[in-house]
Amino acid sequence: MKKTLFATPQDAETAFYEAFMKHDLEAMMAVWADDDEVYCVHPRGGRVTGVAQVRESWRQIFAAAQSVRFHVREQHFLQAMMVSIHSVYEHVTLSGEGRARGCILATNIYMRTGNGWRMMVHHASPAPALEEAEPRRVKTLH
């Protein structure tokens, strides 16, 4: 299988959300590091550890769910030498519906590997809508 080489953490993140929206399991797993230490927390779920179990969890999600659209907003980055930590709000819209169904807050962690930047951690959890979440911060942007 062709593995894309992501030159930046942002490239990996873009590919992650594209794969998620398309329900493309191979593209999704090309983003993840091929490592037994990676882990994933789906909203309200337990921790899924290791690339094989992470793959299986996405397979189940893609098989069960309607296709979804994400609007990723309010990205916040923490950069270290080999690690990039992203906090993002995912506004989830089901296909055919205009209005966002819910809001998920995700911590995405990428590491620089021999094969470019790859995802090590995706921790997603239910969040209040953005407007309620950081009122002070949002206000200062206007």
Binding stretches for a copy of itself (CB under 8 A): 37, 39, 41, 43-49, 53, 74, 76, 78, 80-83, 85, 87, 89, 105, 107, 109, 111, 120-121, 123, 125-128, 130, 132-134, 136-137
DSSP 32: B
What gap in Å lies between CA 52 and CA 37, rounded to an integer?
11
Nearer to a copy of itself, 27 or 51 (CB): 51
β-strand partners of 105? 89, 125
- CA 91, 13, 107, 140 torsion: positive or negative? negative
DSSP 5: P
Nearer to a copy of itself, 101 or 126 (CB): 126
Nearer to a copy of itself, 14 or 107 (CB): 107
Smallest gap, in angstroms, from Cβ of residue 75 to a copy of itself? Answer: 11
Smallest gap, in angstroms, from Cβ of residue 24 to a copy of itself? Answer: 25
Q: Select from 127, 56, 54 the least CA-distant residue to 87.
A: 127
What gap in Å lies between CA 40 and CA 28, rounded to an integer?
13
Smallest gap, in angstroms, from Cβ of residue 36 to a copy of itself? Answer: 11
E strand or H helix that includes residue 128:
none
Smallest gap, in angstroms, from Cβ of residue 99 to a copy of itself? Answer: 19
